[in-house]
Amino acid sequence: MSEALSTYGRGVLQITAFRRLWIGLGLSSLGDWLGLLALTAMAASLAPHTYADQNFAIGGVLLLRVLPAVVIGPLAGYIADRLDRRQTLVVGDVLRGAVFVSIPIVHTLAWVLAATVIIEAISLVWLPAKDATVPNLVPRESLEAANRISIATTYGSALPAAGIFVLLSLSARGLDSSLGWMSNAPVALSLYFNAASFLVSGIVVATLPGIPRGPALAADARRGLLGTVRDGWAFVAGVPVVRGLVVGITGAFAAGGLVVGLARVYVADLGGGDPGYGLVFAAVFGGLALGMFRGPRLLVAMSRRRLFGFSLIAAGIVLAGIALIANLVIATALTLVMGFFAGSAWITGYTLLGLEVSDALRGRTFAFVQTLIRLSLAAVLALGPLIAGVIGEHSWHVTKHAELDYNGAAITMFAAGLAMIAVGWSAYHLMNDRPGVTIRSELRKSLIRATPVYPRTGLFVAFEGGEGAGKSTQSALLARWLRSEGHEVVLTREPGDSAVGATLREILLSPATGQLGDRAEALLYAADKAEHVDKVVRPALERGAVVVTDRYVDSTLAYQGAGRDLATTEVEQVARWATDHLRPHLTVLLDVDPEVGLERFAGSDRLESEPLDFHKRVRAAFLGLASADPDHYLVLDATGERDAIAKAVRDRLLPLLPQLLPQKHDA
């Protein structure tokens, strides 16, 4: 998680106003997760001491945690836009802290359930006020990084919350045994600590500069819940791929939610108590975080569509394994693995939705998905403990001296695992874009792959993007600036910037060439790259120059891999071999809608004349490559001002210059 924060939040936390809001968000998120643990633990302790009643009490807390968002979500956004945002953030934190303080004082199950509804209702107004505040605190070009670090903080807070819950639970037991404190409410210490986190968050936000006073000026444009569901379902039902994505994303959330819903009783069945519950809770969200940030990068040889279905199947298999293995240590480790695959499916599905859905429908589709996720969570959080309670406790005598104990929580999780496998299998076959390529081969290529080679001398920068993105313009501007700074610069391009490459360029791009076989085209591009690296790129880098190239390996992966009907893994093997695995220190992706980019040309070469769907696949491939390795990519909107784009490239490059070019060279 720390790596994710450093990757996505580089530079953003240097902005004082946003840094303070981030601290407040971190404390509030910590309070949210700690509150979830404490409330479910207290509900179980206050319920009658029967297996079914404890399941019902926990299910009630979890259901009431999710249900208000389904019922009053749009209304909460409406309210948030019509209140002073600073007051909303401060008062919201203070009120939530006060409610948490009251829970151990009142100490009844009815108040635990009522307080859950009140806290969630306040949070529903607090969150959109926070989201609307961020654009006022950071520059426009930093907004994406700010949003990403906010998401990372929101979900990452579950891990320290679980650790704190374990420590406070153990501390409460110590205080009870030695001093007689906390005997009536062993989780009271967690609730008081939770309340303090909200109060401190309110104080931090109260000192925050940059938040406009008064309500938002823009009129609310949100649609009601029924309208959002109707518009979203009309689109989802008509597109099989999107339908598979929505079902799969919902299933991934449902799997995680079911484990959370049943974990308290499941851990109790294994003799773990509150500390064991905290560990399993941490494993779920730790796995989700790892899957979101590492899943697509670890299984890089898989296409996103296949990775999505595979991750769902794997999550289902592991969930079934958790139910079968009645050992707390092994179950905790498997829970981490299950969370990893569920997180991988979640982030992959969201990325695919962003690529598959047009801009005009994207907002409504995501709103529909969020609503469906909330509904599915409400269902599994309520029905999971209910079903487990109805099933009850069972023992099977295998032999005279051996018996198996499988209670309702384990049996329900096993059934959910089988359902998850079925959903993943359906999504995989519906979205399989590489028929004939085995999963085993993709796993092998993902886990055993050549190590990228980054030049030890010089600086290597590549510009990538679709047609009309402005790569030639921006690469020339960067070369001019670097020369003015005293660096030797080699400005080059692919294909064609070698003696052999010039001939290959004519063959590859001239309309007179006519139709080329897909494999022949890929091999010709690989030949150009091999000659380009050997004769132009590597010699310049070895003498300490800056090499700025217009296109490199990513273009082959996007055009010949995703654009043509070729397996991307095979194309990548050829391209990486041709370049001896040499990678740029920085790849600048100039992103442009193909319809906009193609309008910038008067004439068309062989690639530019390809149909629009071809260029859309190319764009999606570029974005996928960039998202898998954010440390070495800079993604910019190619429709922005020319000078603003050039400045953004220079700003990203500046930290690399002293590290990789300790001595300047004369032009």
- CATH architecture of structural domain 223-449: Up-down Bundle (1.20)
Would you state the pLDDT for residue 666?
40
Would you state the pLDDT for residue 286?
79
The Cα 434–Cα 419 span in angstroms is: 25
Query: In terms of C-beta density within 10 A (0-12 exposed, 13-18 middle, 19 or more buried), how is residue 303 classed?
Result: buried
Buried b (16+ CB within 10 A) or exposed e, 443-475: eebbeeeeeeeebeebbbbbbbbbbbbbbebbb
Residue 506: other Cβ atoms inside 10 A? 13
pLDDT in tens, 186-199: 577 778 887 888 88
Whole-angstrom Cα Rg for the chain: 28
pLDDT in tens, 59-103: 677 667 767 766 665 566 556 656 777 788 888 889 988 988 888
Q: Quick one: average pLDDT of 324-353? A: 81
pLDDT in tens, 213-255: 655 434 444 454 455 445 555 666 666 777 777 777 777 677 6
Give Cβ neighbours of residue 475 (< 8 Å, ≥ 6 apart): 463, 491, 493, 548, 549, 550
Question: 1-219 falls under which CATH superfamily?
Answer: MFS general substrate transporter like domains (1.20.1250.20)
DSSP 224: P
Q: In terms of residues, how long is the chain?
A: 667
pLDDT interval class at 180 (50, 70, 90) = very low
Q: Any idea where the domains of the chain sit in the sequence? A: 1-219, 223-449, 452-660
Q: Is the pLDDT of residue 462 over 90?
A: yes
Domain 452-660 has what CATH class? alpha beta
- Mean pLDDT, the chain, rounded, equals 75
Q: Is the pLDDT of residue 420 over 70?
A: yes
Any idea which residue has 């089988």 for tokens? 418
Percent of the chain with pLDDT over 70: 69
pLDDT in tens, 499-555: 787 888 888 777 777 677 888 888 988 899 999 999 999 999 988 899 999 999 999
pLDDT in tens, 565-584: 777 778 888 888 999 889 99
Q: Is the pLDDT of residue 596 over 50?
A: yes
Instruction: Give how far Cα 413 sits from Cα of 265, 383, 385, 418, 570, Å.
Output: 12, 12, 10, 9, 39
Residues 666, 622: contact at Cβ < 8 Å?
A: no
Which is more confidently placed, 273 or 179?
Answer: 273
Do 1-219 and 223-449 have matching folds? yes
